Amino acid sequence: MKTGNPWIFLTGWLLAWFLTTLPGVASEKMEEPSEAMVRTIAKSLRCAVCQNQSVYESNSDLAKDMLGVIRSKVVAGESEYAIRDYFFQRYGDYIYLEPTTQGSNRLLWIGPFVALLVGALALLAALKKWRRPSSPIAPVTPADHSFKERLQRELKQIES
């Protein structure tokens, strides 16, 4: 009893597998633009319960409610800025995962650069002072000669 060609069986099996997995792959890649916007907004907002997780990543009830609000506002056609501002009005600046460069946060963004500049200027001033002699070398005066002679006499007395 002769069976069919094994290549035909293998080709048929691969074709069946490919056709059954293709719709799943295609549905993952083809996503509604509104859902992409929901994901973008939800990933930029902090979950108020989890603190260090985005609304998109969190499983808390509050995050799920916030995600529902985001989704309904996106479907209603609101802009990303308007949705982010809606949550800002309710939770304050804390709701953003990345701090903004507005208001008092500007000091947090500019402060390290100002401190670095002040430190560099202080270091430069210290280096200039260090390289400069503290007092110029004074010429030898007759009083210095008398002191030197007296010192040599006393050293000779100590040695003898």
82: tokens are 């308007």
Q: How far from chain centre, in Å, is Cα 6?
A: 57
Q: For residue 118, give the H/E element and its range.
A: helix 105-131
In three-state secondary structure terms, 54 is: strand
pTM of the full structure: 0.49
pLDDT, greater one: 137 or 25:
137
Instruction: Say yes or no to pLDDT of 123 above 90.
Output: yes
Residue 124 binned pLDDT confidence (cut-offs 50, 70, 90): very high
pLDDT, greater one: 122 or 151:
122
Whose CA is closest to 85, among 44, 142, 117, 31?
44
pLDDT of residue 3: 57
Whose CA is closest to 74, among 62, 84, 60?
84
> What average pLDDT does the structure give for the chain?
79
Chain segment 21-69, per-residue pLDDT in tens: 666 554 444 456 688 888 898 888 888 887 788 888 888 888 889 899 9
Residue 115 binned pLDDT confidence (cut-offs 50, 70, 90): very high
Residue 138 binned pLDDT confidence (cut-offs 50, 70, 90): low
